[in-house]
Amino acid sequence: MKLPSIIDSFDSLKVLNAPLHLAIGVFDGVHLGHKAVIGPAVLASQKSGGVSAVLTFDPHPSRLFSPKEPTDLILPISVKVNVLQSMGVDIVIRKHFDRAYASTPATDFLISLKKVLPTLAAVYVGSNFRFGKGRVGNVQTLIKSAQALGLDVFSVDRLHFGGAPISSTRIRKELKKGSIPNVNALLGYNYFTRGSVITGEGLGSRIGFPTLNLNWNPECEPRHGVYYVRFHSIDSSTWIYGVANYGLRPTVADCQSPLLEVHALEGTQVQPGETITIEWLNFLRAEQKFPSLKALSKQIGSDCAKARTYAKNN
């Protein structure tokens, strides 16, 4: 029986007849630390002829516990699922996180999972994993419960980079500072945006720098400014290098929400309506208001020259 790659309940897994290796966590950003947890589950399932799965939560638990100051997600759930699948995860279980689920006693957590996942063979978590009512459950709680159920528990210590632990919180801070090389190093891949090109006002073309515009609204906004990027359309694997502006366009408009605009350094045939993937490579400068369109055009020319230098050296 072929199972769906994304499920919102455990029902379809009750008929599974292969050992299930389950990684559990929010995994926002799917960074290097998360991959250290998920990778062994994928590998173990491949070696045993089993199935690998990730149990993640939507909405983020902070929406329940801190509704006035919820965590801004690095990746929306749909993109997170895509990244998990690219790692070889067979099934992503997108569990709705509500007060009833949060109230499950820690000692009942694995028992409940085993009931709905009969072939569960092992669970994989980070060493800082907390669960159950009041978040009192930890890895030791998990191991004790697993022993009674005949399950294996694999706990992975936190990875460090630059002398500090890798975490989603740390990545959010770097992203808001515009520290893209640090963001990419912590993620283990280039931070990216995916969306459909929309028709703009044509101002970029009038000043000599045509742009592709995306109506992109991330929860965790990168620093407003100009970036060195590369992109390709969904129908092509050829990277096109460019300069992107993300912000409120203070020189030419009074935008209420930021817009993402990309100018291809060597031109592009991408048209409105096409889906493109943009990888962010470096920060060039902060957003600023210029006294005239001529001054803006001159600065964009300088931005492009700097981006071409990056492209040549990398």
Which CATH number is 88's domain given?
3.40.50.620
252 burial (CB, 10 Å; 0-12 / 13-18 / 19+) is middle
Which two structure tokens, joined as six digits, stand for 194? 């995916």
Examine residue 32 and state whether it is found in any structural domain, yes or no.
yes
Long-range contacts of range 9-16, CB-CB < 8 Å, 24 or more positions apart? 10/93, 10/116, 10/117, 11/116, 13/53, 13/91, 13/93, 13/116, 13/117, 13/119, 14/116, 14/117, 14/118, 16/51, 16/117, 16/118, 16/119
CA pair distance 222, 219, nearest whole angstrom:
9
Examine residue 276 and state whether it is found in any structural domain, yes or no.
yes
- pTM score, whole prediction: 0.93
Nearest residue to 195 (alpha-carbon basis) of 283, 270, 84: 270
Same domain, 34 and 154: yes
Examine residue 84 and state whether it is found in any structural domain, yes or no.
yes
Q: What average pLDDT does the structure give for the chain? A: 93
**pLDDT exceeds 70 at position 57:** yes
Nearest residue to 215 (alpha-carbon basis) of 163, 176, 272, 162: 272
**pLDDT exceeds 50 at position 1:** no
Same domain, 63 and 194: no
**pLDDT exceeds 90 at position 312:** no
Residue the block writes with tokens 């300069």: 243
Whole-number Cα distances in Å, 16 to 8, 181, 236: 16, 42, 37
Examine residue 180 and state whether it is found in any structural domain, yes or no.
no
Same domain, 262 and 302: yes
Q: Does residue 281 contact residue 310 with C-beta atoms inside 8 Å?
A: yes
CA pair distance 90, 3, nearest whole angstrom:
9
The SS3 assignment for 124 reads strand
Of 257 and 187, the structure prediction assigns the larger pLDDT to: 187
DSSP class of residue 224 equals S
DSSP class of residue 20 equals E
CA pair distance 279, 117, nearest whole angstrom:
37
The letter for the amino acid at 225 is: G
Host domain of residue 309: 190-313
- Say what the pLDDT of residue 2 is: 57
Which two structure tokens, joined as six digits, stand for 16? 């599974």
Q: At which of 130, 164, 198 does a domain end?
A: 164
**pLDDT exceeds 80 at position 254:** no
Which CATH number is 275's domain given?
2.40.30.30
291 burial (CB, 10 Å; 0-12 / 13-18 / 19+) is exposed
Examine residue 290 and state whether it is found in any structural domain, yes or no.
yes
Examine residue 1 and state whether it is found in any structural domain, yes or no.
no
Same domain, 159 and 208: no
Q: pLDDT tens for residues 19-28?
A: 999 999 999 9
**pLDDT exceeds 90 at position 6:** no
Lowest mean pLDDT of 32-46, 174-188, 199-213, 280-294, name the range. Answer: 199-213
Domain count, the chain: 2
**pLDDT exceeds 90 at position 311:** no
Same domain, 158 and 195: no
Nearest residue to 174 (alpha-carbon basis) of 162, 188, 186: 186
DSSP string, 33-58: HHHHHHHHHHHHHHHHT-EEEEEEEE
- pLDDT, mean of residues 80-91: 94
